[in-house]
């Protein structure tokens, strides 16, 4: 009897392991006031966490680093108080490549947080993420470091 139960349990587990992985979709409301481009009022944006092709900054990761370093300005008060750290931001790369729904996931100081959001809001259009051959909105995370 115990062997039969183990076989049935193994069969159930193997059925779940054989299912193809699907992308995770999350519904996002368009209520972020910090966003430069938002969907029209009442429209709901769906973004993916996992896609076939990840969105990419034009020119790649090196160009993204150069953009952040050339755009980021250390806030004077934070510099004077010797506040430093890494601000983790979340944003959505829309199917047309624009960046929207910028938010701070883990902040350091209000001035550094505002500067990180400003830097991301000034980004040019990205190469959109793709899922099943279609451009889709993808949620991305980006740390912006502030070091003295």
pLDDT tens digits, one per residue of 79-108: 999 999 999 999 999 999 999 999 999 999
Write down the pTM of the prediction. Answer: 0.70
Closest Cα partner for 140 from 38, 50, 11?
A: 50
Is 19 a residue whose pLDDT tops 50? no
Residues near 88 by beta carbon (within 8 Å), at least 6 away in sequence: 104, 105, 106, 107, 141, 142, 143
Q: Which residues pair with 90 in a beta bridge?
A: 103, 141
Please give the Cα distance from 144 to 120 (Å, whole number): 9
Q: Which residue has the higher pLDDT, 2 or 110?
A: 110
Whether 139 and 32 have beta carbons less than 8 Å apart is answered as: no
Task: Convert the pLDDT of each residue in 61-78 to its tens digit.
Answer: 999 999 999 999 999 999
The CATH architecture annotation of domain 23-146 reads 2-Layer Sandwich (3.30)
């Amino acid at each position: 009897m115990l062997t039969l139960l183990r076989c049935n349990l193994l069969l159930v587990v193997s059925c779940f392991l054989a299912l193809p992985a699907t992308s995770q979709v999350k519904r996002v409301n368009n209520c972020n006031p910090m966003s430069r481009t938002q969907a029209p009022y009442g429209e709901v944006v769906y973004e993916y966490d996992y896609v076939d092709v990840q969105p990419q900054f034009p020119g790649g990761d090196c160009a993204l680093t150069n953009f952040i370093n050339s755009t980021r300005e250390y806030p004077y008060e934070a510099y004077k108080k010797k506040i430093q750290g890494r601000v983790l931001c979340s944003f959505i790369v829309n199917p047309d490549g624009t960046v929207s729904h910028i938010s701070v996931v883990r902040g350091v100081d209000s001035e550094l947080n505002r500067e990180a959001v400003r830097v991301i809001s000034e980004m040019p259009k990205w190469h959109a993420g793709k899922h099943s051959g279609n451009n889709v909105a993808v949620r991305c995370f980006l740390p912006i470091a502030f070091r003295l």
